[in-house]
């Protein structure tokens, strides 16, 4: 990759991205997809089943980088579409205030969040989705859980990198 313009901005070569990951915190977004009823009460929480780089199957939230010259809400939509497909109809909240930020450190134990590849700081949002979800790319499956089911220790344990903690923080912010 020799030139960067707005349309392909943020696409670094693998080497360049690896170099940046050793020097700078990388900006991410995390989204917790939910189904809501007509009162706005969360009835279901969606978790992806994803094939990790180590070949292990893990549950995960929708998550991804914010690219150069990309707005945070565009990054949310792009990552939701990447994982849930083009017909998911996500309703990104009008306020840019995240319910929390998750600081993923390469060193375990600094925070509840861990990412062996990098220091990532993620803006976390709950996003109602109204359409049909079809997992894409490295997402094998999307499973909907009730708020009660999703907080079962067995389910939380399948979330890697501390995302079980992030999910519980999302549920707490929803009052459930």
93 binding a copy of itself? (CB under 8 A):
yes
Kindly indicate which of the ranges 33-41, 79-87, 131-139, 153-161 contains the residues binding a copy of itself, using the contact rule CB under 8 A: 33-41
174 binding a copy of itself? (CB under 8 A):
yes
Distance of closest approach, residue 103 Cβ to a copy of itself, in angstroms: 6
Q: Which of 15, 95, 109, 153 binds a copy of itself (CB under 8 A)?
A: 95
Distance of closest approach, residue 135 Cβ to a copy of itself, in angstroms: 21
Q: How far apart are CA 173 and CA 167, in angstroms?
A: 10
Strands (E), 93-163: 100-105, 113-114, 120-128, 139-145
* Burial environment of residue 133 by CB neighbours within 10 A (0 to 12, 13 to 18, 19 or more): buried
73 binding a copy of itself? (CB under 8 A):
yes
Task: CB nearer to a copy of itself: give 16 or 132.
Answer: 16
**119, 79 contact by CB (below 8 A):** no
4 binding a copy of itself? (CB under 8 A):
yes
**46, 144 contact by CB (below 8 A):** yes
Which pairing describes strands 100-105 and 113-114: parallel, antiparallel, or unpaired? parallel
Distance of closest approach, residue 56 Cβ to a copy of itself, in angstroms: 26
**113, 162 contact by CB (below 8 A):** yes
**Phi/psi at 94 (nearest 5 deg)?**
-65, -25
Distance of closest approach, residue 67 Cβ to a copy of itself, in angstroms: 7
Sign of the alpha-carbon torsion through 64, 70, 72, 75: negative
107 binding a copy of itself? (CB under 8 A):
yes
Placement of tokens 């070569």 in the chain = 13
- Note the residues at the interface with a copy of itself (CB under 8 A): 4, 6, 9-10, 12, 16, 20, 22-27, 34, 36, 39-42, 66-74, 77, 91-101, 103, 105-107, 110-112, 119, 121, 123, 126, 128, 168-169, 171-176
């Amino acid at each position: 990759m020799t030139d960067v313009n707005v349309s392909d901005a943020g696409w670094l070569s693998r080497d360049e991205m690896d170099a940046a990951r050793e020097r700078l915190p990388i900006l991410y977004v995390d989204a917790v997809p939910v189904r809501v009823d007509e009162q706005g009460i969360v009835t279901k929480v969606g978790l992806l089943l994803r094939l990790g780089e180590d070949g292990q199957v893990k549950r995960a939230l929708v998550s991804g980088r914010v690219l150069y010259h990309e707005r945070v809400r565009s990054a949310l939509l792009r990552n939701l579409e990447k994982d849930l497909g083009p017909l998911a109809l996500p309703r990104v909240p009008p306020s840019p205030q995240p319910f929390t930020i998750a600081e993923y450190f390469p060193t375990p134990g600094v925070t509840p969040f861990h990412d062996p590849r990098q220091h990532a700081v993620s803006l976390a949002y709950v996003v109602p989705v109204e359409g049909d979800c079809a997992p894409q790319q490295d997402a094998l499956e999307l499973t909907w859980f009730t708020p009660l089911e999703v907080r079962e220790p067995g389910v939380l344990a399948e979330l890697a990198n501390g995302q079980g903690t992030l999910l519980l923080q999302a549920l707490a912010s929803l009052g459930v």
